[in-house]
Amino acid sequence: MKRLVSVLVCFFMLFIGISFLNADIVNAGLPEYHHLFPQAFRGDFARLGIDVDDFTIMLSKEAHRGSGGGIQYSPANWNATWKKYLARNPNASETELYAQAQKMLKESGAAGKFDFYNYQTKQVSKAAIAGAPAMAVSSNWFLSLCAKIGSLAMRLLGGYGWGRTLLAFFAGIGTTVLGWFGIKASHPTTVGVGLLCCIIGILLIIFAIWFILLLYKLVLLPIVVALGAIIKTFLES
């Protein structure tokens, strides 16, 4: 019993410590809208048939413009790269522009399938309605799954004080685990939260199976045996 109490106390202290040190970590994983075709060159893209507001995708804040640079401010600066591309290809077709955007996303480390949203309405864009395919970037399926779960968890819990504390705790442990295994993700906070959610989910499933088996052994099995004995006695009488 003393060991259990000690473990719980240590876990609680770790929870408080990580939450305090990572008070803003959840913000890093919250989604933002990123212009595939920069607003700074709105006129250039309009001339080429692209409405930049119809081609925004959702990225986590850290992947978009995080402290490590993100897509927006990394050494391979998104806007600077587009400026050079447009200078070299002033008459690029929509297909070529789309291919360039996909290439840049892949090089940035972003992974997954990205749907297009209108920056003004935050709804599915006219481009998507008109049939422009979602932009797919090759990725590890498990990391993509963790990112989706992490993003969902942040949306559901990020609006509550206790939820943000819990998410900060999850993010701290999840990103640490990713670091231990040398796993690199384009949005490690979101993936870290999702990873820990997956681990907890698996543990809960294992616990549920164990509990059902225990319940069967302690409660259901004796009842079945007793009923069997009663039926046997009744039939033999």
- For residue 114, list its beta bridge partners: 135
> pLDDT tens digit string along 126-184?
776 555 655 555 557 787 788 778 878 877 876 677 777 777 778 777 777 777 776 66
Are 146 and 184 contained in the same domain?
Answer: yes
Q: Report the domain count for the chain.
A: 2
Q: Quick check: is 95 in a domain? A: yes
> pLDDT tens digit string along 87-134?
999 999 988 998 898 888 777 766 556 677 888 887 777 776 555 655
For 187-211, what is the mean pLDDT? 85
Q: Quick check: is 13 in a domain? A: yes
Which pLDDT belongs to residue 133? 59
**Which of 176, 192, 208 is at the close of a domain?**
192
Report the half-sphere exposure of 147 (CA within 13 A, side-chain side). Answer: 24
User: Domain range holding 99?
Assistant: 36-139
* Average pLDDT, rounded, for the chain: 75
For 200-209, what is the mean pLDDT? 91
Which pLDDT belongs to residue 11? 55
57 and 187 Cβ atoms separated by less than 8 Å: no
